[in-house]
Amino acid sequence: MGKFEIFFSIVGGISGCLALIYPIYVSGNVSSKIPEVEKYNQTCEMFGKSEIKIPHPKRTLIFILVFAGFFTFGFLWIAALWVASGHFDAAVPDNILKEIGFNAVGREGQGTNANELISLKKLLDEDVITEQQFEIEKEKLGF
């Protein structure tokens, strides 16, 4: 075997191993996919606070699919990759929500002021409402 063949065999082996655990890596911390948490984490460094890390809500399923993928010729690994990188609803604990600025927290099936506030913030960002209108509505919602 020549030098290049050995080199590319090693590089290919390492790349293959990293690809196998990629779904697990993706499911480790999804904080960057939640805009409010990502914004908070960016300011943490300035104030010396620790960053908020939120695990993927289907992390256990992803682990199971990755390891079962070894016995199914990779078919379940593909499913793990699909689950890990797809759309999901992350559950953010109440104490973290309060820390990033949400005072009212709703539960599934209940109306929530936080959802209203998010809608108002989108309207403000799109310049549909003014900052003053946003603050007035925010006060009405209890924030």
**What is Dmax (Cα atoms) for the chain?**
74
CA atoms within 13 A on the CB side of 51: 15
State the burial class of residue 113 (Cβ atoms within 10 Å of its Cβ: 0-12, 13-18, 19+).
Answer: middle
Question: Chain-wide mean pLDDT for the chain?
Answer: 81
pLDDT at 110: 46
Angle at 119 between CA 115 and CA 124, to 5 degrees: 145
**What's the whole-number mean pLDDT along residues 116-130?**
84
Give tens-digit pLDDT for 81-110: 889 888 777 777 777 777 777 665 555 544
Residues 143 and 121: their CA atoms lie apart, in Å, by: 12
